[in-house]
């Protein structure tokens, strides 16, 4: 694991990311930086453990078999790992397993996050993108489903509006999932329609 002096730069990096937790849950780009993800075996988890007297540093490290992924998008974690996981200020932890990233609540509730910017999706305007059966939807920070996963793609919200795509057709929805523009436009057309929001919908 290395000496405290060797681990200090990594712990400091995690502390910097903790300041961003209200926007993004446990930035798993650290996993790439530390080079752990590629070496995981099937079923092995990677996450940041909570701070304890025995574990005084925030470390990203392999944690062994922490649960199982069912139906591709449901993570069932073992209780001892739920207790061991570090949770951010928004009450969420993050776990990397089998090439997927999951949000985790302290009660064991999980949701498969959209992998974005080398980590779980940002919470923007209170919502983050999740994946279910290959479709995009949105949850709040308590992992309540706010918008059902029914889109082939969805952008983050900006100005209360998100782009959505079904097949080759594009549209836009508000934070309740109601259509701002029906899913019937080209991407260029829908972006032109949303120019008034002064957002760069990704």
> Residue 75 is encoded by which pair of tokens?
């993570």
Same domain, 146 and 49: no
**Domain identity same for 150 and 199:** yes
Cβ-based neighbour number of residue 178 at 10 Å: 8
In DSSP notation, 164-201 reads EEETTEEEEEETTS-EEEEEEE-HHHHHHHTGGGT---
Tens digits of residue pLDDT in 132-177? 999 999 999 999 999 999 999 999 999 999 999 999 999 999 999 9
Say how many domains are in the chain: 2
Domain of residue 42, residue span: 4-120
* Tens of pLDDT, residues 65-117: 999 999 989 999 999 999 999 999 999 999 999 989 999 999 999 999 999 88
Contact 28, 118 (CB under 8 A): yes
Q: Specify whether 12 is located in the same domain as 49.
A: yes
């Amino acid at each position: 694991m290395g000496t405290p002096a060797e681990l200090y730069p990594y712990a400091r990096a995690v502390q910097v990311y903790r300041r961003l937790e209200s926007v993004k849950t446990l930035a798993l780009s650290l996993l790439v930086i530390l080079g752990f993800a590629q070496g995981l075996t099937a079923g092995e988890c990677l996450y940041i453990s909570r701070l304890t007297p025995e574990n005084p540093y925030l470390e990203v490290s392999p944690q062994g078999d922490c649960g199982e992924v069912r139906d591709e998008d449901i993570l069932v974690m073992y209780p001892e790992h739920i207790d061991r996981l570090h949770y951010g200020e928004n009450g969420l932890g993050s776990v990397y397993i089998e090439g997927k990233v999951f949000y985790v609540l302290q009660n064991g509730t999980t949701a498969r996050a959209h992998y974005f910017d080398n980590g779980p999706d940002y919470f923007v305007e209170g919502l983050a993108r999740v994946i279910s059966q290959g479709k995009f939807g949105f949850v709040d920070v308590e992992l309540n489903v706010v918008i059902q996963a029914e889109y082939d793609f969805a952008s983050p919200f900006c100005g209360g509006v998100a782009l959505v795509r079904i097949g080759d057709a594009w549209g836009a929805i508000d934070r309740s999932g109601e259509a701002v523009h029906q899913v019937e436009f080209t991407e260029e057309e829908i972006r032109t329609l949303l120019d008034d929001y002064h957002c760069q919908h990704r």
